[in-house]
Amino acid sequence: MAFRFNSAGRSFFSLYFFIITAFIIFSWLLDNVWNSYIEQDVESYTGYKTMLVAVGDYVQKHPKIEWQTLVKRTGERYELPLELISLATFDAMEHKDHHVLKKESTHVYYYNDMVVLHYLIPDTESVITLGPAKMPTRPRIKAIYRVFILAFFGVIIFIWLWPMSRDLEQLKIATGEFGQGNFNASAPTAKSAMVAPMMQSFNMMAERIKRLIEAHKELTSAVSHELRTPLARSKFALQMLSTVKDDEKRNKYQQQINSDICELEELINEMLIYAAFDSDRPALSFTSENIYDLVAKQVSTHKLINTQIELVDNAPNLVVICDIHFIDRALNNFISNAIKYGAGKVKVTISTTRSQGNQTLCSICVEDNGEGVSDEFKSVIFDAFSRGDQSRNRETGGFGLGLAIVSRIMEWHQGAANIEDSELGGASFTLTWPIE
């Protein structure tokens, strides 16, 4: 637990300090921009330059001998550090810039937080000096406000980022465990609304992968069993062929080998079909079809067999959207199984029903009068390689892939395949999917 906290803490605080550092840099840049603005606009901001020009014009209207006194009095009146000096004295100062002063008549000198202004009275060698005076700065109260605002945003960011950081760390741990082979690993419920969809998507993905892996394990086990039986029979028959001399027995073993090869070929073909259906969805061609015509065609095809098939249409002229090829395949599987496991009577019913969302569904029910299906087997009958006979004897019919393919076809149609007990005494298989 300590490791998880430390790891989460590192991720969180690194992001948190990054944002706070960005705030500090932004504040520093703001101060520098402010100071630069003050330095560039100090003359117009303070009004010092205007005052110096006004004082210069004022003293020029009096005899030159009175200038010193007039400047001194003006400074005392307005409580400003005004002084009248000669241009030679200005040139002797450490911060002199007489070339600029002669060109622009005003020179501004900055040091620390102080400012000194020099104004050259036109057409004279006299300079009016104002300063040193305190340079205008940002009000302290505004700086305090800025600090509080930054602190407030820091708290908000902390509250916002901490749950997100913790959830991301939990997701990282779950992903690591899943990647190391722990397919039961799942992400906990997210505390952050922004991370919750990621958690849900990961759990859905993990559950899907888990089911696929379990299905492939079952498939591999079932395939190995299915292949082992005919291969063992063929191996035994080949061994016996080398020893028997009776032509009748030899023909019997040859027929057994041929039958086993045909069984293996059929198994491989069905496996390839199921694998193609399980791994990817084929290109479906959805069209509007009259469902009665489709069912009637299947019924007429199977009536050639010595079985009584009754067709009941409770939804006349029902038109549905479907891929006619795959629905026909699913229906053919249901009717074939009903004939195989029934006792000579099959009933096919077309009707409509409603989903929980009040959506109209097409329903095709195929019933037989056979022995039915046990309750235990109903829950797995649509799984690959499932058979009611646990011995998996080939004589019980099929490899258990037909109904699995039907289930996958109905998934493509956003529908379902179900099994219940029939009023005829056997099983009742139903295909349902939305009409539109």
DSSP string for residues in 79-112: T--EEEEEHHHHHHSTT--HHHHHHHSEEEEEET
Q: Are 59 and 121 in contact (CB under 8 A)?
A: yes
The residue that leads in pLDDT, 53 or 347, is 347
The residue that leads in pLDDT, 216 or 359, is 359
Residue 387 sits in the same domain as residue 403: yes
Asked if pLDDT for residue 409 goes beyond 50, the answer is yes
The residue that leads in pLDDT, 263 or 122, is 122
Indicate which CATH number applies to the domain containing 383.
3.30.565.10
pLDDT level of residue 198 (50, 70, 90 thresholds):
confident
Residue 416 sits in the same domain as residue 296: yes
User: In this structure, is residue 237 part of a structural domain?
Assistant: yes
Residue 232 sits in the same domain as residue 312: no
pLDDT at residue number 215: 67
pLDDT at residue number 102: 63
Highest mean pLDDT among 90-94, 114-118, 200-204: 200-204
Residue 305 sits in the same domain as residue 222: no
Largest pairwise CA distance in the chain: 154
Asked if pLDDT for residue 223 goes beyond 80, the answer is no
Half-sphere exposure at residue 37, Cβ-oriented, CA atoms within 13 angstroms:
9
Lowest mean pLDDT among 270-279, 399-408, 420-429: 270-279
Pairing label, strands 345-354, 308-313? parallel
Q: Are 90 and 101 in contact (CB under 8 A)?
A: yes
pLDDT at residue number 313: 93
Measured distance CA(348)–CA(302) in Å, rounded: 12
Asked if pLDDT for residue 170 goes beyond 50, the answer is yes
Asked if pLDDT for residue 260 goes beyond 70, the answer is yes
Highest mean pLDDT among 1-10, 142-151, 179-188, 391-400: 179-188
Q: What angle do CA 44, 49, 54 make, to 5 degrees?
A: 130
pLDDT at residue number 207: 83
User: In this structure, is residue 46 part of a structural domain?
Assistant: no
pLDDT level of residue 94 (50, 70, 90 thresholds):
low
pLDDT at residue number 2: 42
Residue 413 sits in the same domain as residue 389: yes
Q: Name the pTM for this structure.
A: 0.48
The DSSP letter of residue 190 is: P
Measured distance CA(70)–CA(49) in Å, rounded: 18
Residue 253 sits in the same domain as residue 305: no
User: In this structure, is residue 267 part of a structural domain?
Assistant: yes
The domain boundary residue, chosen from 244, 262, 279: 279
User: In this structure, is residue 123 part of a structural domain?
Assistant: no
Residue 272 sits in the same domain as residue 293: no
Taking all residues of the chain, what is their mean pLDDT, rounded to a whole number?
A: 78
Asked if pLDDT for residue 138 goes beyond 60, the answer is no
Residue 268 sits in the same domain as residue 302: no
User: In this structure, is residue 316 part of a structural domain?
Assistant: yes
For the segment 270-274, the average pLDDT, to the nearest whole number, is 68
The residue that leads in pLDDT, 24 or 389, is 24
pLDDT at residue number 226: 66
User: In this structure, is residue 245 part of a structural domain?
Assistant: yes
Residue 338 sits in the same domain as residue 224: no
SS3 411: helix
Residue 318 sits in the same domain as residue 273: no
The residue that leads in pLDDT, 2 or 299, is 299
Asked if pLDDT for residue 412 goes beyond 90, the answer is no
Residue 341 sits in the same domain as residue 418: yes
Q: pLDDT > 90: what percent of the chain? A: 13
pLDDT level of residue 247 (50, 70, 90 thresholds):
confident
pLDDT level of residue 380 (50, 70, 90 thresholds):
confident
Q: State the burial class of residue 11 (Cβ atoms within 10 Å of its Cβ: 0-12, 13-18, 19+).
A: middle
For the segment 383-393, the average pLDDT, to the nearest whole number, is 55
First CA to last CA distance, the chain = 52
Residue 252 sits in the same domain as residue 226: yes
Distances (CA, A) of 418 to 126, 144, 337: 109, 72, 14
User: In this structure, is residue 361 part of a structural domain?
Assistant: yes
pLDDT at residue number 45: 44
User: In this structure, is residue 356 part of a structural domain?
Assistant: yes
Indicate which CATH number applies to the domain containing 222.
1.10.287
Structural domain harbouring 222? 218-279
pLDDT level of residue 4 (50, 70, 90 thresholds):
very low
Per the structure, how many domains does the chain have? 2
pLDDT at residue number 392: 39
pLDDT at residue number 3: 41
Asked if pLDDT for residue 31 goes beyond 70, the answer is no
The domain boundary residue, chosen from 237, 261, 279: 279
